[in-house]
Amino acid sequence: MTPAQLEVRHRPLTDPLPPRGRGEGEGGFTLVELIIVLFIIALVAGLVLPAVGRGVETLQLRAEVGAFSAFLRYAREQAITKREAHEVTIKPEAHLLILRAAGSESPRASRKLSPRIAISADTPSGNSITFSPRGVSTGGSFRLTAADGRAYWVRVDPLTGRVTNTRIGS
């Protein structure tokens, strides 16, 4: 290459740079625009996060109801497989379920429930249900209520010993 060709390829240092700033078609955001967007994001988060919290509380209540029902099903299973009556005693003030062989004082199993759940019994035999080796039970219903008022019924059928749970209300 000749020196004349080299000069054409390189721009001389004296050429001005393109102007800086906002011109036609150039992007960018002002500080005011950024603050407005951040305010909108904070507003949406303030509306959405309480709903997420209620969702977590609902899941916790459903988990407690599931654990309560599973414990009663386990008691029925133990009565059938061991061929001896088993009794589940519910202590609402202690949030405690205790499984014993009928007539025994030593517990075979126990389950602590969340203190945020209120338990009320509607059973013929008070706060206990007895499962016989044939699968039948004394039957009864328990209402498990969360602090915000949502509630479930856990019912034990006296003829079959089947345990079901149902949400109360909508």
- Given a contact cutoff of 8 angstroms between Cβ atoms, the answer to whether 75 and 86 are in contact is yes
pLDDT surpassing 90 at residue 85: yes
**What are the backbone dihedrals phi and psi of residue 46, each rounded to the nearest 5 degrees, phi first?**
-65, -30
Is-above-0.95 flag for pTM? Answer: no
Q: What is the CATH number of domain 53-168?
A: 3.55.40.10
Percent of the chain with pLDDT over 70: 79
pLDDT surpassing 70 at residue 127: yes
Question: 109 has which bridge partners?
Answer: 99
User: Where in the chain does DSSP place strands (E)?
Assistant: 86-91, 96-101, 107-112, 118-122, 128-131, 140-145, 151-156, 163-168
Determine the average pLDDT of the residues in 133-159. 91
- Given a contact cutoff of 8 angstroms between Cβ atoms, the answer to whether 99 and 109 are in contact is yes
Domain extent listing, the chain? 53-168
The strand pair at 151-156 and 140-145 is best described as antiparallel
The strand pair at 96-101 and 107-112 is best described as antiparallel
Residue 11 pLDDT grade (very low, low, confident, very high; cuts 50, 70, 90)? low
- Extract the tokens encoding 18: 């393109």
- The model's pLDDT over 88-110, given as tens digits with 9 standing for 90+, comes to 999 988 889 999 998 888 998 99
Identify which of 75, 89, 90 has the alpha carbon closest to the alpha carbon of residue 135: 75
